[in-house]
A and B are shown apart, each in its own frame.
Chain A
Amino acid sequence: MSSGTAQDVDRNPMNERLLRAQDVSEQRMLLSLATPALLMIVAIVLIPVGWLFYLSFIGNDGQLSLEHYQKMVEYKSYARVFVTTFQVSILTTLLCILIGYPLAYFLAMLPQRMAGFFMLAVLLPFWTSLLVRTYAWLVLLQKNGILNDFAISAGIWETPVKLVHNMTGTLIGMAHIMLPFLVLPLYGAMRKIERDMMHAAANLGATPIQAFWKIYFPLSLSGMVAGSLIVFVLCLGFYVTPAVLGGGRVVMVATQITAILENQFNWGAASALGVVLLVATIVILYLAGRFLKLDVALFGKS
């Protein structure tokens, strides 16, 4: 380096500063590419959430207070809403696993190209509106709907069965909408299991059933956990489907928030509900992360 002293040259080998400067400018470039997204997150996530958080601590008299949180503890109806929310979320997740695991397994066993075609079928519902899909279930499941008509004419049951405007309908609709969120990560994890693994298990004396439970299932677990968490968390805050298919009988947190805003226009109470849901979700994700190595499951690190 022409500008350095003799000592400098000793300690700083050729072009060291220039090379480091290139490093730094590359990092700045990357950061500047991420800036619009970061600004967006600040504007539409952090600021509103912070504002809601603040509102939840403002009482009806405009003073700082915990009254909204106190009400949540005092009134049983609030507890019921949270119980329902977790019930629906857990049951939907279980339903998704029950339907999604065999589906993902089937896809993973197909040759790559065929699997692509079937995956399209799994993803197709994503491209139609959520509302349309929900009302489609209403048409299928209602008292004089296609399913009841068919079952009665086929003699499976005699009087129309109540399949909608209750928990059953909500779960059917939710499971249908959530299924791809489970299948995608699960399929990814299953594709990564080498065929040799199953060969090795069989070679060492495992029957196909033993090989599945001792080797395949544990190796697919990371994908299943990732998918289940995504489904569960999405369910916690879901609004449209329980509102339409639950018919007012399945009141989840999101439905309750809307009700409070529409009936009482009470921003504080609605915010407090939102904050509790958000905190509960974060706690669940944190615990899941602690016990299930979430980074492995979600980002495929090994």
Chain B
Amino acid sequence: MASHSDNQSAETPTALPIRIQGLTKKFGQFYALDSVDLEVHSGEFLTLLGPSGSGKTTLLMAIAGFNRPDAGSIRFGEAEMILTPPHRRNVGMVFQSYALFPHMSVAENVAFPLKLRQVNATEITDRVAEALATVQLSDLGDRSIDQLSGGQRQRVALARAFVFRPRILLMDEPLSALDKKLREQMQIELKHLHQKLGVTTVYVTHDQREALTMSDRIAVINQGRLAQVDTPHVIYNQPANPFVADFIGESTMLPLTRDDSGRFFFESHLISADEPEKAGSDCSLVIRPERLFVIKDQAVDTEQTIVFPGVVRDFVFQGDTAFAVTSISDKHDLAFRFGTDASSSEHSMQPGDQVSLGLNRADVIIIPRATDL
């Protein structure tokens, strides 16, 4: 087969970086992808995270070769792939629907890519067994697909995607059809599998917790553009813009004013004196609800802590945490999340109670307010 001149490298799998430049895809007047530049490092687990319709799946499909972009470049390593048909791209893919072939058994599904590559029969048997063992389905090779549970199908789809040792693995919301417990278990398994295979992985999800759990880096995508590409830690703690701050985790955004010497204020609170790199005057303070804490007998800011006195408006118990909304001024509320252990006194909070919420200055996040994202 023409596609497998690179059989040699399939024997010793090496991960390949993906370099995307100026990738644009229009549907009529709508830009599904608007000149996207993205580099996925060799062996990295990168997640494309965004709301539905943001372009994340379109981007993944373009990498797999299932749609034809209007402009741009996609390279695997040094090789330009933009014109290469999907069957010659040699990337593994796990589909949201799994796309298992119902007229083939589990083992036949997994053997399919090997047969197409004209691997000899004994090696096919060995590699199928090995792949099924990796996803813990060794006993189920002879089953037909409709005899499998959702979680088992997911594993078969996974085995089929890596059995031919692709150097790039793509996954399109592979866990979205599973229930919560199984999904969380599979997240850990996928992460282990990625470490074992060492293959460059691009993973699509709209679930921010999944993205934070699994990724080396997250590319947050919105309206066909990348809003921020960075590690989960930076994405969460230093969001670059209101979209990322709002989409990842919970947050309250408070408008800031700036005085002549460039210091940021929220109402009468001095928030930050030294953020020279933040240009312009239109900025917001982002507060993560779980970073706030109750302060007992103090209502003024200190060197370490900003203190927001307020009145509890709503209080909800949610099991592992509880959630409260506190009015800190006529116009602004703060969302506040806290633990529910026996020692935490916040349990007894009632709407109407006076409360002071503290925020460590180290947890201050300042982002530009006006942005086209």
Q: Knowing A194-B97, A196-B95, A199-B66, say if A219 contacts B87 (CB, 8 Å).
A: no
Question: Does A66 belong to the interface (CB within 8 Å)?
Answer: no
Q: Knowing A197-B101, A302-B146, say if A203 contacts B164 (CB, 8 Å).
A: no
B-chain residues with CB within 8 Å of residue A215 when the two chains form the complex: 101
Contact flags (1/0) for B314-350 with A, using CB distance below 8 Å? 0000000000000000000000000000000000000
Contact flags (1/0) for A167-191 with B, using CB distance below 8 Å? 0000000000000000000000000
Question: Does A36 belong to the interface (CB within 8 Å)?
Answer: no
Q: Are the CB atoms of A202 and B99 closer together than 8 Å?
A: no
Contact flags (1/0) for A187-221 with B, using CB distance below 8 Å? 00000001011011111111110110011001100
Query: What is the minimal beta-carbon distance from B87 to any residue of chain A, in angstroms?
Result: 5
Q: Which of A67-96 contact B (CB under 8 A)?
A: none
Q: Which of B1-15 contact A (CB under 8 A)?
A: 1, 3-4
Question: Does B64 belong to the interface (CB within 8 Å)?
Answer: yes
Question: Does B223 belong to the interface (CB within 8 Å)?
Answer: no
A-chain residues with CB within 8 Å of residue B22 when the two chains form the complex: none
B interface SS class: loop
Q: Are the CB atoms of B91 and A205 closer together than 8 Å?
A: no
Query: What is the minimal beta-carbon distance from A178 to any residue of chain B, in angstroms?
Result: 27
Question: Does B160 belong to the interface (CB within 8 Å)?
Answer: yes
Query: What is the minimal beta-carbon distance from B127 to any residue of chain A, in angstroms?
Result: 14
Query: What is the minimal beta-carbon distance from B123 to any residue of chain A, in angstroms?
Result: 16
A-B contacts counted at CB < 8 A amount to: 66
Complex alpha-carbon distance, A173 and B25, angstroms: 49
Query: What is the minimal beta-carbon distance from B338 to any residue of chain A, in angstroms?
Result: 44
Query: Which of B30-38, B109-117, B362-370 participates in binding chain A?
Result: B109-117
Q: Counting chain A CB atoms within 10 Å of each CB, which of B90, B91, B101 scores highest?
A: B101
Which listed residue (A194, A202, A214) contacts B86, Cβ 8 A? Answer: A202
Q: Are the CB atoms of A206 and B87 closer together than 8 Å?
A: yes
Query: What is the minimal beta-carbon distance from B259 to any residue of chain A, in angstroms?
Result: 57
Question: Does B128 belong to the interface (CB within 8 Å)?
Answer: no
Which listed residue (B85, B99, B146) contacts A200, Cβ 8 A? Answer: B99
A-chain residues with CB within 8 Å of residue B96 when the two chains form the complex: 196
A-B contacts, 19 of them at CB < 8 A, read A194-B97, A196-B95, A196-B99, A199-B93, A199-B95, A200-B101, A201-B112, A202-B65, A202-B85, A202-B86, A203-B92, A204-B160, A205-B1, A205-B164, A206-B87, A207-B1, A207-B3, A208-B87, A219-B103
